[in-house]
Amino acid sequence: MKNEIKPATGKLGVLVVGLGGAVSSTFVIGTLAVRKGLSTPIGSITQLATIRLGKRIENNFPKIKDVVPLTDLNDLVFGGWDIFPEDVYEAACHAEVLNEKDINGVKDELKAIKPMPAAFDQNWVKRLHGTHVKQSTNRWELTEAIRKDIRDFKEANKCDRVVVIWAASTEIYLPMCEEHKSLATFEKAMKENREDIIAPSMCYAYASIAEGAPFIMGAPNLCLDIPAMWEFSAEKKVPIAGKDFKTGQTMMKTVLAPMLKTRMLGLDGWFSTNILGNRDGEVLDDPDSFKTKEVSKLSVIDTILQPELYPELYGNIYHKVRINYYPPRKDNKEGWDNIDIVGWMGYPMQLKVDFLCRDSILAAPLCLDLVLFSDLALRVGMYGIQEWLSFYLKSPMHDFEHIPEHDLFIQYTKLKNTLRKMIGEETIDYLD
């Protein structure tokens, strides 16, 4: 049955946490370049992908953006927060992801996009030293300040709606505690300024939900994936999505691990190492921040392979993940995997993968799609965890009753079937 979708009228504010980062600046520049006709949105499903409607014999494959009422790129207004004061043009030049020609194509627009002071606590990201930060460190006061920023931005830019996306650094590892398990205890901890258990990212998430803005967590931080946030998003009827953009090495794992499982090939070990030189690499050089990322990366293989169901194939996997800060590479990450697999009669084989990727180039189109789809979900009336967006995320958020889906192809089918249901088309199981 077709969902009632509110039209995408007016402007959509896109507020990015970490506006001056490599991912954020690449996302903003690419989107502005595409809408000026200077570039092609390669990597964006919302802009390039088709969707099959009806039976296979009907041969009906329109582009998603032609049949799903997404916000037009011309209606996006960019803003956000950063711990450094540089405008997006200066930030992009510093990040050295894009060449001068691509940056200069939208230079005037970029110079006008200046970050608001960030809610920042260096105890949570030890390798960064922010200079453009809000003066208060009280968690409740920070949250109220972020709420005011959202309202002020919305009014100043005449936006009908706002989406907030976290593209900032990975915070130190935080396990879930009792105060995270209900909205009442969470709010009490915020008002008591429990800096040890309320991360700055949680202030952004709470503020966004309170202002009716969908919130997307692009890092592996414990932030949205707690019962307090699920309760709050249901109360405010706001969509939330997370966590950790699925870009390089983990994207490969969500492709290769399903291949092993569908062929019933065994796995003895999977060793992954990365070298990365951007701000993300510097932050992850700190063991406490790396722990957060490690938990996210390690969750993929076990969930896909289900060792409890196939102990003879996957019951004793050795899985190791390493990230090494290597400044000369800047944003050009190298992810190297050694995979020891087992075939017929127990004979060993190996897979070697060397993915010379560009982290921000892969992440930028994910940001665009997540923003547009989260806004769509809001206009449809969907709220809480948006499992159908797990395709984009390394560690898909889920409640205590569900098991996350990591298989990239199952995730893609779920995404497209959700879109089909929204527009009143039959879902597809590929048996017809």
User: What's the pLDDT score for residue 421?
Assistant: 96
What percent of the chain lies above the pLDDT cut of 70?
Answer: 98
- pLDDT band, very low/low/confident/very high, at 85 (cuts 50, 70, 90): very high
Q: Are 243 and 195 in contact (CB under 8 A)?
A: no
Same domain assignment for residues 132 and 202: yes
Residue 222 included in any domain: yes
Same domain assignment for residues 205 and 88: yes
- pLDDT band, very low/low/confident/very high, at 291 (cuts 50, 70, 90): confident
What are the residue ranges of helices labelled H in 74-138? Answer: 88-95, 100-104, 107-111
- pLDDT band, very low/low/confident/very high, at 282 (cuts 50, 70, 90): confident
Task: Pick the most confident of 57-61, 325-329, 365-369.
Answer: 365-369
Q: Inform me whether the pLDDT recorded for 261 exceeds 50.
A: yes
Residue 429 included in any domain: no
- pLDDT band, very low/low/confident/very high, at 432 (cuts 50, 70, 90): low
User: What's the pLDDT score for residue 79?
Assistant: 98
Using one digit for the tens of pLDDT, what is the confidence trace for 98-134?
999 999 999 999 999 999 999 999 999 988 899 999 9
Residue 48 included in any domain: yes
CATH code of 262's domain: 3.30.360.10
User: What's the pLDDT score for residue 2?
Assistant: 63
CATH code of 102's domain: 3.40.50.720
DSSP string, 196-216: TT--HHHHHHHHHHHTT--EE
Q: Inform me whether the pLDDT recorded for 331 exceeds 50.
A: yes
Count of CB atoms situated within 10 Å of the CB of 184: 11
The count of residues in the chain is 432
Interval 269-293 mean pLDDT: 81
**Which of 356, 381, 406 finishes a domain?**
356
Using one digit for the tens of pLDDT, what is the confidence trace for 162-183?
999 999 999 999 999 999 999 9
**Which of 356, 372, 391 finishes a domain?**
356
**Which of 332, 356, 380 finishes a domain?**
356
Same domain assignment for residues 240 and 303: no
Residue 100 included in any domain: yes
Same domain assignment for residues 61 and 207: yes
Residue 3 included in any domain: no
Same domain assignment for residues 27 and 174: yes
Query: What is the model's pTM?
Result: 0.94
Residue 4 included in any domain: no
Same domain assignment for residues 224 and 300: no
Residue 210 included in any domain: yes
Using one digit for the tens of pLDDT, what is the confidence trace for 178-232?
999 999 999 999 999 999 999 999 999 999 999 999 999 999 999 999 999 999 9
Residue type, 308: E
**207-to-85, 147, 221, 367 alpha-carbon distances in Å:** 22, 5, 17, 20
CA angle (245 as vertex; 355, 179 as ends), nearest 5: 140
Domain that holds residue 352: 249-356
Same domain assignment for residues 329 and 405: no
Residue 409 included in any domain: yes
User: What's the pLDDT score for residue 1?
Assistant: 45
Same domain assignment for residues 235 and 253: no
Interval 353-361 mean pLDDT: 94
Number of compact structural domains in the chain? 2
Q: Inform me whether the pLDDT recorded for 95 exceeds 70.
A: yes
What average pLDDT is seen over the chain? 94
Burial of 13 (0-12, 13-18, 19+ CB in 10 A): buried
Same domain assignment for residues 38 and 110: yes
Q: Inform me whether the pLDDT recorded for 255 exceeds 70.
A: yes
Structure tokens belonging to residue 174 = 């935080």
Same domain assignment for residues 167 and 281: no
Same domain assignment for residues 280 and 176: no
Instruction: Compute the distance between CA of residue 430 and CA of residue 432 in angstroms, rounded to an integer.
Output: 5
Same domain assignment for residues 216 and 286: no
Residues 6 or more apart whose CB falls under 8 angstroms from that of 348 comprise: 268, 340, 341, 342
Q: Inform me whether the pLDDT recorded for 283 exceeds 90.
A: no
Q: Following CA atoms 204, 364, 6, 243 in sequence, which dihedral angle do they give, to the nearest 10 degrees?
A: -50
